[in-house]
Amino acid sequence: MSTPRRRDSARSRELLLAAATDLFAERGFDRSTIREIGERAGVDPALIARYFGGKAQLYLATLQLDQLNANPADLLEPERVRALLDGATKRGPGPIHRAAVAPHEDPEVQAAAAEQLHRRLVDPLCERFTREGLDRPQLRAELAVAAFIGVSLSRSSGTFAALAEAETEEIVGLVVELLTPRA
């Protein structure tokens, strides 16, 4: 008589997080399916709903694991702009960028995405503007991030031909110039 295999929920959760992190990095949020994440993790994809609530919540959980961006550079650093533009080009917009333009249907996901948006993009810029003694640093930071997300999303829309055809390096320089406060 064989004993039924006991499910290790912590291990299944870890495997799903690792698989999702890899797939989201490779393909982006929209191009990664729950089925593919489950297959890569070697577990039933239905466990995503059980452990995380859904794909968007899983995506946000992967972002919270990201210790490399514990203190991300701000949007006036060309390398940061380049990395964000390249990521959006390769993987498309994720829930964080979407949180800036349209609310998610799940208020908890929206709140978590907005929190990540502020932590990763708005707060570093606000801190810079505060250090530089600029008035209304929070408003300035939010305007700059909104403008950057607009550029990032518009680049792939096909509506702006020159923006879509421009080399990343040219866009990086112009974005940093656009976002830098003038005296």
- Each domain of the chain, given as residue ranges in start order, spans 9-65, 78-179
Give which of 163, 162, 129 is closest to 145, Cα–Cα: 129
Rounded mean pLDDT, 18-26: 86
CATH no., domain 9-65: 1.10.10.60
Residue 4: pLDDT band with limits 50, 70, 90 = very low
Confidence of residue 21 (pLDDT cuts 50, 70, 90): confident
Instruction: Please tell me the distance from the alpha carbon of residue 94 to that of residue 89, in angstroms, as a whole number.
Output: 11
pLDDT at 69 exceeding the cut of 70: no
Question: Cβ(45)–Cβ(39) under 8 Å?
Answer: yes
What pTM was estimated for this model as a whole? 0.77
